[in-house]
């Protein structure tokens, strides 16, 4: 599909997807893909379906297509400005048909999640004796080689190898749930990103990626240089909190205090909310029984870090063709020309990509709706990367 310099490639099929046939491409009306750091990424394909021939007297032909069966694999590749990028590598999990009395207006929606959904099918109880989170994460990810998963596992700040005579980590639930549960203990994330090559995926288990070169700036209200069409900011004074608690020493039996009064997140804003607000919430950390002091303290710090992520948020929408790039979730980006309080660097929490090609909606659109976060207000520098 070609739309205003955008080329969309669709590969689809069981296990090893192939190029979609022309009949499928012609019926494809809209593509929507959402990447977020809070859970799995998802996609939805919208097809126009009809019954205008003799062979379609019994049913819509696309409904019987072997390419659109549930649990088939879908790979979407977007080429913008001659640069290809794998936008989604996922699995079909749902079909919805919306018949219409109007000719040519019936629609088939095909919905799915990234390939990590295959790690979420079987609930089980598994012991992981004498294995810390890094070993467990690598072991689980390596058990899904058919989806091209390449593990990127970052060790937590505390390396606590459990002794079997003291405790044995036990998994209750699916592999994906357990990986996310382990990550949340340290304020870490677990997610799967497509690429860099079609058919491969990166399984990331580690801290939020707030470091690195910021993506091209989101510019607002700058006439011909404007890249963002809508942008709004929010400061939630009740989101951020400090964390305190207590843990009983394994050997001493004494109750030892825990405290995480500040965040360790990269200070993207000049005025951190935990330091500048006149009031702030306090949370008592529970469920630390049996943990070492270092492990419990790491979880207290993770609680404080997670809370500041929701303190300052921004939402907006841009035209990808005018922006000239594909905005990526889970990476930093700079914002400019919205005032000193809101200018500066942000972390891209979520991006929804919407590509439209058809006669029933505006043709040739590639729009991106995004959500940004940071832990404080004010720009760190008077100049941001364009």
HSE value, Cβ hemisphere, 13 Å, CA-based, for 137: 25
113-139 average pLDDT score: 94
Residue with tokens 């549930």: 70
What integer is the mean pLDDT of 12-26? 90
Q: What is the pLDDT of residues 71-84, one digit of tens each?
A: 999 999 999 888 89
The H or E element that residue 301 is part of is: helix 293-308
pLDDT band at 362 (very low <50, low <70, confident <90, very high): very low
Strands 6-13 and 215-219: unpaired
Lowest-pLDDT range, 53-67, 138-152, 197-211? 53-67
| Residue 268 confidence (pLDDT) above 90 | no
Q: How confident is the model at residue 269 (pLDDT cuts 50, 70, 90)?
A: confident
- Find out whether 264 and 305 touch, Cβ atoms under 8 Å: yes
Q: Which residue has the higher pLDDT, 172 or 250?
A: 172
Report the 10 Å Cβ neighbour count for 239.
Answer: 19
Q: Is the dihedral of CA 368, 236, 191, 263 positive or negative?
A: positive
Say if residue 143's pLDDT is above 90.
yes
pLDDT of residue 251: 65
Regarding predicted confidence, which is higher, 193 or 57?
193
Highest mean pLDDT range out of 107-121, 181-195, 306-320?
107-121
Which of 289-293, 305-309, 337-341, 372-376 has the weakest average pLDDT? 289-293
CA 203 – CA 48 distance, rounded (Å): 34
User: Into which CATH architecture does domain 2-118 fall?
Assistant: Beta Barrel (2.40)
Sign of the C-alpha dihedral computed for residues 341, 332, 116 and 187 taken in this order: negative
CATH architecture of the domain with residue range 120-206 = 3-Layer(bab) Sandwich (3.55)
What is d(CA 372, CA 231) in angstroms, rounded to the nearest whole number? 10
> Considering only 20-34, 184-198, 241-255, which range has the smallest mean pLDDT?
241-255
Decide if pLDDT at 2 tops 70: no
Is residue 291 within 8 Å of residue 298, measured between CB atoms? no
Percent of the chain past pLDDT 90, that is, above it, reads: 51
The token duo for 351 is 């991006």
- Phi first, then psi: give them for residue 64, nearest 5 degrees: -100, 5
Cα-Cα end-to-end distance for the chain? 30
Residue 241's pLDDT is: 92
**265-268: long-range pairs with CB below 8 Å, 24+:** 265/208, 265/210, 265/305, 265/308, 265/309, 265/375, 266/210, 266/211, 267/375, 267/376, 267/380, 268/210, 268/332, 268/344, 268/345, 268/346, 268/347, 268/374, 268/375, 268/376, 268/380
For residue 196, is the peptide bond before it cis, meaning its omega torsion is within 30 degrees of 0? yes
Contact 277, 352 (CB under 8 A): no
């Amino acid at each position: 599909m070609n739309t205003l310099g955008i080329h969309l490639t669709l590969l689809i099929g069981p296990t090893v997807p192939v190029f979609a046939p022309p009949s499928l491409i012609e019926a494809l009306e809209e593509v929507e893909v959402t990447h977020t750091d809070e859970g799995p990424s998802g996609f939805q394909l919208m097809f126009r379906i009809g019954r205008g021939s003799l062979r379609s007297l019994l049913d819509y032909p696309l409904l019987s297509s072997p390419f659109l069966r549930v649990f088939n694999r879908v790979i979407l590749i977007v080429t913008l400005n001659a640069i290809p990028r794998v936008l989604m590598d996922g699995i079909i999990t749902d079909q919805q048909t919306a018949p219409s009395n109007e000719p040519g207006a019936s629609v088939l929606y095909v919905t799915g999640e990234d390939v990590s959904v295959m790690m979420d099918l079987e609930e089980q109880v598994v012991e992981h004796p004498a294995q810390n989170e890094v070993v467990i994460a690598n072991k689980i990810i390596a058990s899904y080689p058919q989806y091209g998963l390449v593990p990127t596992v970052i060790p937590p700040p505390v390396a606590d190898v459990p002794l079997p005579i003291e405790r044995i980590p036990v998994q209750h639930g699916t592999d994906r749930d357990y990986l996310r549960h382990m990550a949340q203990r340290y304020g870490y994330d677990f997610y799967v990103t497509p690429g860099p090559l079609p058919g491969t995926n990166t399984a990331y288990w580690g801290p939020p990626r707030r470091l690195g070169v910021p993506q091209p700036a989101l510019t607002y209200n700058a006439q011909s240089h404007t890249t963002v069409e809508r942008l709004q900011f929010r400061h939630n004074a009740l989101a951020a909190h400090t964390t305190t608690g207590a843990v009983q020493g394994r050997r001493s039996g004494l109750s030892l205090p825990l405290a995480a009064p500040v965040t360790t997140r990269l200070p993207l804003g000049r005025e951190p909310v935990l330091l500048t607000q006149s009031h702030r919430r306090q949370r008592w950390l529970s469920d630390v029984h049996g943990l070492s002091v270092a492990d419990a303290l790491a979880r207290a710090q993770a609680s404080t870090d997670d809370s500041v992520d929701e303190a300052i948020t921004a939402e907006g929408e841009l035209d990808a063709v005018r922006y000239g790039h594909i905005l990526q979730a889970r990476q930093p980006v700079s914002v400019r020309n919205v005032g000193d309080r809101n200018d500066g660097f942000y972390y891209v929490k979520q991006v929804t990509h919407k590509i439209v090609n058809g006669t029933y909606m505006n043709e040739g659109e590639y729009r991106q709706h995004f959500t940004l976060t940071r832990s404080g207000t004010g720009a760190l520098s008077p100049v941001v990367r364009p």
